[in-house]
Amino acid sequence: MRPEIWQPLLLSLKVALWATGINLVLGVAVAYGLSRWRSRLNATVDALLTLPLVLPPTVLGYYLLVLLGRRGLIGGWLDDLGLNPVFTWQGAVIAATLAAFPLVQKAARAAFEGVDVQLEDAAKVLGLKPLAIFVRVSLPLAMRGIVAGALLAFARALGEFGATLMIAGNLPGRTQTLSVAIYSAIEAGDDAGANLLVLVASLTCVTALLLASRLTRERTPRGAA
């Protein structure tokens, strides 16, 4: 396989795996907190966390540049520390993480809300600490929904384009992800390369979606309509 094919593929897998891992930690924590938090601000917070899912990718990329650019709100401080994510694969991870975060958060929250609170109360009566209740009761019961959300987030991160292009650029071998490589191949008239990249991306995303759909069905009780 040509380097211009496997390099973007490997980089995209690397970015998607990092983004999915980060989202599993942050998304599950936020989802559990929101599922147990009762406040009038709940809907507002949920709407703000869902924004990356509905914002145009270029708008999300612009926000990232405003924050992380050398003249950005925190970019200058990061640059002084020698940490500049702009035009790096780490920048692509940040873009993919933000774009895919709502998928993990929403799936995990729905899974946690489906956990019987009486089971958590019973564990509390038995003397378990909050962390132990989360690890031994809530998390296992919500695991299928969390994994389904993670697979959807992986597919979303793998296909991220607009925000990635703005924050990480299009540097072959360094920041050129699969989606950006497809755009470059089409722009250069390399139909064969574009077709192969599209095929690989499509098969990967369809596989993730099928797995997520299977997990979601298995979470549904057999007697349900």
Residue 223, pLDDT score:
42
Percent of the chain with pLDDT over 70: 93
Residue 106 lies in a domain: yes
The pLDDT tens digits of the residues spanning 165-175 come to 999 989 888 89
Q: Is the dihedral of CA 199, 204, 209, 211 positive or negative?
A: positive
Residue whose tokens read 């925190």: 74
- Give the domain range for residue 58: 5-216
Provide the 8-state DSSP code for 78: H
Domain assignment present for residue 112? The answer is yes
What pLDDT is attached to residue 122? 93
Tokens for 104, please give them: 């993990």
Query: Is 223 within a domain?
Result: no
pLDDT of 15 reads 95
pLDDT tens, position by position, 110-139:
999 999 889 988 999 989 998 999 999 999
Domain assignment of residue 23, yes or no: yes
Question: Would 221 be classed as within a structural domain?
Answer: no
pLDDT at 6: 81
* Other CB atoms within 10 Å distance of the CB of residue 129: 10
User: What is the predicted pLDDT for the residue at 70?
Assistant: 81
Task: Please count the structural domains in the chain.
Answer: 1
Q: Is residue 224 part of a domain?
A: no
Please report, as a single letter, which amino acid is at residue 51.
Answer: L
Question: How many Cα atoms occupy the beta-carbon half-sphere of 144 within 13 Å?
Answer: 13
Report pLDDT for 218: 58
- Answer whether residue 64 is part of any domain: yes
Quick check: is 222 in a domain?
no
The model carries a pTM of 0.85
CATH number for position 122: 1.10.3720.10
pLDDT mean by block of 10 residues, the chain; 225 residues:
76 94 95 87 89 92 90 81 87 95 94 91 90 92 91 90 91 90 89 87 83 66 43
